[in-house]
Amino acid sequence: MIVVGGGVSGLTTAVVLAERGLRVRVWTREEAERTTSAVAGGLWWPYRIEPKEQVADWAATTLRVYEEFSRRPDETGVRLVPGVLAGQSPTALGAWSAQVAGLRAARPDELPGGHTEGVRARVPLVDMPAHLGWLRRRLEAAGGSVELRAVRSPAEAVEAATAAGAAGTVVNCAGLGARELAPDEGVRPVRGQLVVVENPGVETWFVVADGESSRTTYLLPQPGRLILGGTAEDGDWGTEPVPATAEAIVARCARIRPEVAGARILAHRVGLRPARAAGVRIERETLPGGGTLVHNYGHGGAGVTVAWGCARAAAALVPGG
């Protein structure tokens, strides 16, 4: 069997399948550290993702898994970190919020930057480069493999899977690549730019609820660095950092934590979130000429948040999975 896509959705799905005894190969056109997942801030939080009913279940499943992983943070890259979502009240959150132990309204002293309401919670914060590396090692320990290989069509992958004795099954976790692979014109990029700086002592995460704005503001403390964001530019395919955007990101974050203004910049990053007009697609189809194609894409900016829930849902559609 072949899983197309080497980001967090592809690797997680591959791990689930391999640990169920299936022979799995991951085809990815880029190394994990070059995928959109590697750029992600890594905060567990259902962000701009549909359909809400299924998302609540997928997110809750993933939360439970990450809580287990957080017992081994140096190994898995997953920590439970307290923080605040400003600009929203607990009652405005979805059904998933009932799964977060200790979630409550933020106190005034926990709301910098002139905000008057917010939510305080302790949730998973995933060091994505470390976590992606760990997922790959876990996959390999289960007998799976990762190959650098672009996929031109589902038929090509099905043919390769059949030749390997894998019953012609392919799982599509291609992210933006699903636009051509499915094909699905409803898949589009939501561009995210962020700035990585030396951490001046920020220990809690902070996010401002931005509604449908193309600008977002967040500070996410990761080991050895602080991630500042960001943007959510719908339909923008640009992958190069824009200096003026980076300056605006730092300025917004400095209004929340003034010490950030003087932090040394380590890197600029851009990632294209794989959004889909109709929301996440987890579906099985039989291809002309035979072969099974299982879809798992369209996670937008919440792939980390629903990774294990979606992986298990997709695996349930795989013959023998």
75: tokens are 């190994």
Asked if residue 47 belongs to a known ligand binding site, the reply is no
Cα of 130 vs its chain's centroid, Å: 14
Cα of 320 vs its chain's centroid, Å: 27
Beta strand 118-126 with 225-231 is unpaired
Closest listed residue to residue 83, CA positions, set 267, 227, 232: 227
Asked if residue 192 belongs to a known ligand binding site, the reply is no
Asked if residue 309 belongs to a known ligand binding site, the reply is no
Asked if residue 7 belongs to a known ligand binding site, the reply is no
Asked if residue 91 belongs to a known ligand binding site, the reply is no
H or E segment at 205?
A: strand 205-208
| Per-residue pLDDT tens over the stretch 90-110 | 999 988 999 999 999 999 999
74: tokens are 């140096």
Asked if residue 5 belongs to a known ligand binding site, the reply is no
6: tokens are 């080497």
Strands of the sheet with 281-286, listed across from one edge:
145-148, 25-28, 2-4, 169-172, 292-297, 281-286
Tell me, what's the pLDDT at 290? 79
Mean pLDDT of the chain: 93
> Do residues 28 and 52 make contact, with C-beta atoms less than 8 angstroms apart?
no
Residue 210 has pLDDT above 80, yes or no: no
Asked if residue 144 belongs to a known ligand binding site, the reply is no
Residue 167 has pLDDT above 70, yes or no: no
Asked if residue 37 belongs to a known ligand binding site, the reply is yes
Residue 278 has pLDDT above 80, yes or no: yes
Asked if residue 62 belongs to a known ligand binding site, the reply is no
Lowest mean pLDDT among 15-29, 43-57, 215-229, 240-254: 43-57
What is the Cα–Cα distance from 90 to 171, expressed in whole angstroms? 36
Tell me, what's the pLDDT at 48? 78
> Do residues 302 and 47 make contact, with C-beta atoms less than 8 angstroms apart?
yes
Can you tell me whether residue 305 is helix, strand or coil?
A: helix
Asked if residue 292 belongs to a known ligand binding site, the reply is no
| Per-residue pLDDT tens over the stretch 150-160 | 887 877 877 77
- Return the DSSP state at 42: -
Can you tell me whether residue 52 is helix, strand or coil?
A: helix
> Do residues 77 and 40 make contact, with C-beta atoms less than 8 angstroms apart?
no
Q: How many residues does the chain have?
A: 321
Beta bridge partners of 146: 26
Asked if residue 36 belongs to a known ligand binding site, the reply is yes
What is the Cα–Cα distance from 171 to 115, expressed in whole angstroms? 44
Output 304 or 36, whichever has higher pLDDT. 304
